[in-house]
Homo-oligomer: A and B are copies of this chain.
Amino acid sequence: MRRDIFQAIADPTRRAIIGLIALQAMTPNALAEHFDTSRQAVSKHIKILTECELIKQEQKGREIYYRLELEKMKEIDIWLEQFRKMWETRFNQLDEVLSIMKEQKQ
């Protein structure tokens, strides 16, 4: 059973859950209302998100509020960093080409 953040965000429903609780903590029932699926299915997604520590829970009586662990989201950003560097470099190179062209025009 692989359980990393990239596998976690692979599912569109889980990405939607992440997007929702990023704005405010929510209960499984409240979440399920947003999707065309059962509460139990949402619970399963929550379990997966919990297992890779993307979300944390806060019990309030019989309700459980889940909130996003923003810090964990940075892990994706860290992986992306290497590629961001590349496309920024390319942008700078293009920038350079454009300025050379401009010089040649003058």
Query: Residues on A close to B: CB < 8 A?
Result: 2, 4, 6-7, 9-10, 12, 15, 19, 22, 68, 70-71, 73-74, 76-77, 79-80, 82-84, 86-87, 90
Copies per complex of this chain:
2
Cα distance A6–B12 in the bound complex, in angstroms: 9
Contact A22 B76 (CB under 8 A): no
Within the complex, what minimum Cβ distance (angstroms) separates A62 from chain B? Answer: 29
Contact A74 B86 (CB under 8 A): no
Contact B83 A71 (CB under 8 A): no
Contact residues of A: prevailing secondary structure: helix
Q: Given A7-B10, A10-B7, is A22 in contact with B70 using a C-beta cutoff of 8 Å? A: no
